[in-house]
Amino acid sequence: MNARALDASSLRDPGLLALMAPASVAVVGASSDPGRIGGRPINWMLRAGYQGEIYPINPARAEVQGLRSYDSVAALPHTPDAAIVAVPAPQVVGTLEALGEKGVRAAVVLSSGFAEVPGEGAALQQQLLDTARRHGMRMLGPNCLGLFNANVGWYATFTTAFESGWPRAGRIGVVSQSGAFGSHLVCLARDRGMGTPFCVTTGNQADITVGEIIHWYAQDPEVDVIAAYVEGVTRADVFVEALAAAQRARKPVVMLKVGRSAIGHRAAQSHTASVAGNDVVTDAVLREFGVARVRSVDELLDVAYMAALKTYPLRNTLGVASISGGVGVLISDIAEDEGMAMPPMPLATQKRLLELLPYASPVNPVDCTAQALNDPTLVRSFTRAMVEEGQYTSVLSFYAQLAGVPPVADRLMEDLAVLRQEHPDRLFVVSGTMTQDRQRAYDASGLAVLEDPVRAARAIAAMGRLGEAFERSHSSWLPEPAVLTLPRGPMSEAQAKQLLAEHGVDIAPEQLCADVESAVHAARSFGWPVVLKIVSPDIAHKTEMGGVLMGVGDEEAVRSGFDLLLSRAKAHVPNASIEGVLVARQMQGGVECLMGIQRDPVFGPMAVFGLGGIFVELLNDVVLRRCPFNEEEAERMVRSIRSVGVLDGMRSRPPVDVPALARMLSRLSVFAHHAGDQLESVDLNPVLALPLGQGAYALDALVQTCSNHGKETGK
Amino acid sequence: MNARALDASSLRDPGLLALMAPASVAVVGASSDPGRIGGRPINWMLRAGYQGEIYPINPARAEVQGLRSYDSVAALPHTPDAAIVAVPAPQVVGTLEALGEKGVRAAVVLSSGFAEVPGEGAALQQQLLDTARRHGMRMLGPNCLGLFNANVGWYATFTTAFESGWPRAGRIGVVSQSGAFGSHLVCLARDRGMGTPFCVTTGNQADITVGEIIHWYAQDPEVDVIAAYVEGVTRADVFVEALAAAQRARKPVVMLKVGRSAIGHRAAQSHTASVAGNDVVTDAVLREFGVARVRSVDELLDVAYMAALKTYPLRNTLGVASISGGVGVLISDIAEDEGMAMPPMPLATQKRLLELLPYASPVNPVDCTAQALNDPTLVRSFTRAMVEEGQYTSVLSFYAQLAGVPPVADRLMEDLAVLRQEHPDRLFVVSGTMTQDRQRAYDASGLAVLEDPVRAARAIAAMGRLGEAFERSHSSWLPEPAVLTLPRGPMSEAQAKQLLAEHGVDIAPEQLCADVESAVHAARSFGWPVVLKIVSPDIAHKTEMGGVLMGVGDEEAVRSGFDLLLSRAKAHVPNASIEGVLVARQMQGGVECLMGIQRDPVFGPMAVFGLGGIFVELLNDVVLRRCPFNEEEAERMVRSIRSVGVLDGMRSRPPVDVPALARMLSRLSVFAHHAGDQLESVDLNPVLALPLGQGAYALDALVQTCSNHGKETGK
């Protein structure tokens, strides 16, 4: 990252610029011992040839590691761009104050003993933040391992990682909430020959979060791929905007987000003071922005490595060339797991290839057998046919140890390099064993090498998903602004339905009847049978107390049912305020779904859709999305549940009205968006989806406002 | 594998012994060019120092690679133990004939052009087999890459793999249907420092199958772990007996079985002439014998590597020690995925550890933070507490690059080695980066090293599953022998039910009635309501043609229903033979299940159990097992379905009678076992499982005999 590149970019925050590429730095708590936290960053910078000024601050010494040392921040001859803070926790506030007064724009706080420890830590951390903010100074940490920008020799970190070698040049930016993990990742990447010149560890992220660094990388012309490790999302707005920026910039965000499990969740909360959040919600947000979510360190590296080729095939099809039929089968299994198509070669091509080599399997996987050893032209002909006639967007070639043994290996690399040059939109991946030097030569030719064919196939599938995510870009659809004020206090079913109906949600035909005669009249007008339900703001779960009567078939039944419901309600909640009995047409057929809104403390209102009953209870087959979204997006959601077959008409039943479901879901999301913090949740359960063309109707509705919403809106 | 070890073992097949460790070998089609198929095995053996005699056979030469060459097999001065055959396909039969006449006990046929190619290949392969069998000679291949036994320098293979290095000494035996895959695996293992001195590739496996080699390894005292690559199982009896032998010997079989997907299945069938088979069935068989089934090459290596420590913890609990809280969280997520418990440390221990290091997380994951760098005693105290107080059976320590940087690394290894010596029943795994030399030192101390903590956690979970598989050993339960002859031709529902009832399957109370008066009488005796069903051997799917009437509530309804069913049956199949109407009590409540038998062409009768309706149709939530099995095993099966919550009583419904289901399933399996090849399938759908203590009843039954069974049993 040179100054010119940065000037030309749209990176506007001077504090972040000072953090990522400072021209000078103060080290508060500087140590002469390169093994100590206050000594190691200086040592790294000296060894790496940092071109800026380093000002050690240590009142006990005149010189630190050969550099002139200063007594205090105030005593510095110039204002440094950034500062590294490595003093005990109780001294950090004072240090920040001094740095702020001096006009320093960014502080890297390595010290620990803040929100990650019980007791006073959280309050002390808040003081740090207040101090930094008062001075307009940005802060990384506290309790972080620091950061580095290898392109300018800036190493504000006390990691020991570089004892085994420096990071390599390249275009992958790393950001990690955990310092040890970030360091580990950088070492592994280096050992695999990957270039990660940037790594920021955010620790307690009192000020600067992972999201903000992702956003920085999204705008940084020196970064093509963003590798992120996340425990919990703290500032959803920043995070979401960062993911959107990366998607717009067509820069893959490859993310290991931990804390999925119960133990993991608990562990994440006790670590670096993060809120792990509801993983299901976070996962929905990551999917929304096309983040490549990975489950292991190897996968993180595999996907980031391949992504650095910047080839993200749309409608990805995989052609497999293999000297081992067995590995071809293995790759086919993985392609199916990943939903990646492996169409067969055109028949004419198959015929031609069989003429070249009668024992070949020319379909896909294409197997030119061990003959590849003896005839150098075979691999070339077969692979070219796959690219030009099979039209595969990705070609995975498995050559085992042949990929590394000259002269086969030399020819192979040359042939593939030529194909890649002629077809730069295709992804060429080789699986086999070879030396690191040879692998670097493949990399230099724009070809990827992954030893394990399974991991190669999975990473190729990830490239296709990235291509689709970049293609759809992020819909920035927003509804017309509207002001919506929810009533205070609990809402009855009838009130909830009326409110939702006003916002475009279709409610089953029904009528609230205060007396038995109007109930009979309503039932007659709907047609038989009808459903009767007690309506009271004091009774939330009416089914459990017998407050719903189904299949009421004639006038006499309406009369007796009406009385029965009133007596049951009084028995259940003696002083219940009864609004009456709801008479509704009992709908037949269709599929029961559920729809709702749940306010997430991190990401705000989330819409939920699923099928009713065991699909949700047992299978957890639901889809979530941040609100609001349009009908097109809603239909994608509805169709993304695993049990979508039920909606498309199982057991020769007609398909249901998915467009009507989508319309309702989108309108519900708009309602939730406008209601904002006033709304806690909406439950439409069931929503009956009738056969296509006949609509979808909410049969029950429960709206809960926030418990303190009355007070808030009353301000 | 030296001769003494083999003599002392119970390995009885002299042909296999000659294959695995021959004292002398003929090479038919021997070539002077070490690059050719007939030249490379000789070259490898000469370079590796094979101690036996090598007899090249090539009538065109007096000498091959410095060895005296012979004109023909007949011209050999002695009978070699084994022969390598590398002549064109048309000459192989003649060669085998000559070898057989000479008294050779094992032939490795490297030549291709047999069942793997269309046309005459299959017939030619059958000739090979017939020839070998006639002479009592065992045959590997054809179309295989051969085998090696590095312990005696026996390299009957034309792989190029050893150009990059020889296999290492060790105790892992490899067997692979695919030659290229086997070679690749051996190279990868070698590069990771793993010892795989044996590798057999079986190719078309006309005679010797993967199963037989697994069995050999199970009995071979020089092998502890069996790594297998399988495309399709051809001889189920051999395969199953091999898995049972390995389980009895407590030797893990780590298997990559490919061909799960549709494309993979197709590809597997065209490759090495294998029948991939129904993967769901194969998977059930692998689970039965506790095979560690893996999904990628890396996982195959990870699990085999860790298994070579021979520590398979029972009731596996994982303690995680980490210098990175983040990685602790990551590992917790994986442990939950794998169903591996991570209980917390005892409270007293937590308190004590906090006194040692106030910033630590002492629960589990245990995080002694970056202080591990500065205080050498911390890691020791924390890890010892985990082993001795936390009582974890497995301890995973994540130290990132610290694991490889002296002096921390030296202390760490020493501390862990001491703990392992004191607690040899515990599994100690380190995750971090280090040199290969250091990793070898860890290995030598009985400690495992895997760089990626996710892969480490998954491999640890696999060790626990192996421990459980070895503990339960394989139940060799068999029912009393019985002769059972099924009637010829199609069976009506009533016939099927009577047959099954005779074999102990509970059928819902019911009666076949030929006339309306006896139907009324039967209904009265059962109590109302009843179900009426048409009974005809000519109508298989009676529901679809309206042949079932539910909820028949009184005598009048029985009368009209009886007539209705007869008229519908006649309309549907005009000449149907009608046996009458089945009157059954209509059972209420309970959970609908399904149970059945399906004959698998490879593994014979397989029992199936699942819940009814969408659970099977949409979720494929079924469990399979080879027949027969006892009630205990049947109950394990029933409880292993994902939706078992429905049986245990969802939504405050009572739990159902699982023991009754298990009894029925076991009896069904015994029936299928005795029926053998006469039986094609049984469908009991639904089986109604009533509340606990009230039993389970088959409400419908369909038995299909084999289409050619009549002829067969008529012999």
Q: What is the pLDDT of residues A143-178, one digit of tens each?
A: 999 999 999 999 999 998 998 899 999 999 999 999
pLDDT at B383 over 60: yes
pLDDT at B711 over 50: no
User: pLDDT confidence of A324, banded at 50, 70, 90?
Assistant: confident
Question: Considering only CA atoms, which of A177, A174, A178 is closest in space to residue A186?
Answer: A174
Q: How far is CA B287 from CA B72, B231, B280, in A?
A: 49, 17, 11
The pLDDT of residue A574 is 87
Residues A187-208, mean pLDDT to the nearest whole number: 96
Residues B688-696, mean pLDDT to the nearest whole number: 93
Residues 6+ apart with CB under 8 A from A310: A224
Architecture of domain A591-714 in CATH? 2-Layer Sandwich (3.30)
Residue ranges of chain A that CATH labels 3.30.1490.20: 509-585
Looking at domain B509-585, its CATH class is: alpha beta
Residue ranges of chain A that CATH labels 3.40.50.720: 1-141
| Touching B: A residues 369-388, CB under 8 Å | 369-370, 373
The pLDDT of residue B440 is 93
pLDDT at B271 over 70: no
Max Cα distance, chain B (Å):
101
CATH topology of domain B1-151: Rossmann fold (3.40.50)
Q: Is the ipTM of this complex over 0.85?
A: no
Q: How far is CA B292 from CA B198, B202, B447, B458, in A?
A: 19, 21, 21, 11
Tell me the percentage of chain A whose pLDDT exceeds 90: 68
Instruction: Residue A618: list chain B partners with CB under 8 A.
Output: 643, 645-646, 650
Let me know: does A400 contact B180? Beta carbons within 8 Å.
yes
At residue A329, φ and ψ (nearest 5 deg) are -65, -45
Give the residue from B257, B269, B333 with the most A CB atoms within 10 Å of its CB, the best one to mutate. Answer: B333
Contact B405 A184 (CB under 8 A): no
Render pLDDT for A105-147 as a digit per residue (tens, 0 to 9). 999 999 999 998 878 999 999 999 999 999 999 999 999 999 9
The mean of the pLDDT values for chain B is 90
Chain B: closest CA distance from residue A215 (Å) = 22
The pLDDT of residue B119 is 85
More confidently predicted of B294 and B372: B294
Residue ranges of chain A that CATH labels 3.30.470.20: 591-714
Place of tokens 């639904």: B686
Residues A28-53, mean pLDDT to the nearest whole number: 96
Q: Which of the 8 DSSP states describes residue A341?
A: B
Tell me the percentage of chain B whose pLDDT exceeds 90: 68
Determine contact: A451 vs chain B, CB below 8 A. yes
Q: How far is B58 from B714, CA to CA, in rounded Å?
A: 54
Instruction: Residue B302: list chain A partners with CB under 8 A.
Output: none
The pLDDT of residue B273 is 44
Determine contact: B598 vs chain A, CB below 8 A. no
pLDDT at A715 over 50: no
The pLDDT of residue A188 is 94
Let me know: does B252 contact B292? Beta carbons within 8 Å.
yes
Question: Considering only CA atoms, which of A618, A598, A614 is closest in space to residue A606?
Answer: A598
User: pLDDT confidence of B546, banded at 50, 70, 90?
Assistant: confident
3-state secondary structure A356-409: HCCCCECCCCEECCHHHHCCHHHHHHHHHHHHHCCCCCEEEEEEEHHHHCCCHH
Chain A: closest CA distance from residue B202 (Å) = 12
Tell me how many residue pairs between chain A and chain B have CB atoms under 8 A apart. Answer: 262
pLDDT at B379 over 90: no
pLDDT at A675 over 90: yes
User: In this complex, which of A178, A187, A358 lies closest to B324 when CB atoms are compared?
Assistant: A178
- Both tokens of residue A463? 């490239």
| Touching A: B residues 198-257, CB under 8 Å | 229, 231, 256
Residue A156's identity, in one-letter code, is A
User: pLDDT confidence of A571, banded at 50, 70, 90?
Assistant: confident
- Provide the CB-side half-sphere exposure for B658 (13 A, CA): 19
Render pLDDT for A385-400 as a digit per residue (tens, 0 to 9). 999 999 999 999 998 8
Tell me the percentage of chain B whose pLDDT exceeds 70: 92
Helix (H, G, I), strand (E, B) or coil at B627: coil
What is the DSSP code string of B676-702? Answer: GGGEEEEEEEEEEEPBTTS-EEES--E
Determine contact: A544 vs chain B, CB below 8 A. no
Domain A1-141 in CATH 3.40.800.10: no
The pLDDT of residue B4 is 36
- Both tokens of residue A118? 């019980």
The pLDDT of residue B9 is 42
Residue ranges of chain B that CATH labels 3.40.50.720: 1-151
- Both tokens of residue A360? 């070949």
Residue ranges of chain B that CATH labels 3.40.50.261: 159-308, 318-472
The mean of the pLDDT values for chain A is 90
| Touching B: A residues 518-537, CB under 8 Å | none
Q: How far is A428 from B597, CA to CA, in rounded Å?
A: 47
**What element of type H or E holds B629?**
none
The pLDDT of residue A1 is 38
Contact A454 B160 (CB under 8 A): no
For the domain B159-308, what is the CATH code? 3.40.50.261
Least confident interval from A623-627, A631-635, B408-412, B709-713 = B709-713
Of the ranges A268-272, A572-576, B627-631, the best mean pLDDT one? B627-631
Place of tokens 């599953």: B465
More confidently predicted of A652 and A624: A624
Render pLDDT for B221-230 as a digit per residue (tens, 0 to 9). 999 999 999 9
Let me know: does A234 contact A242? Beta carbons within 8 Å.
no
Give the residue from B160, B329, B369, B439 with the most A CB atoms within 10 Å of its CB, the best one to mutate. Answer: B329
CATH topology of domain A318-472: Rossmann fold (3.40.50)
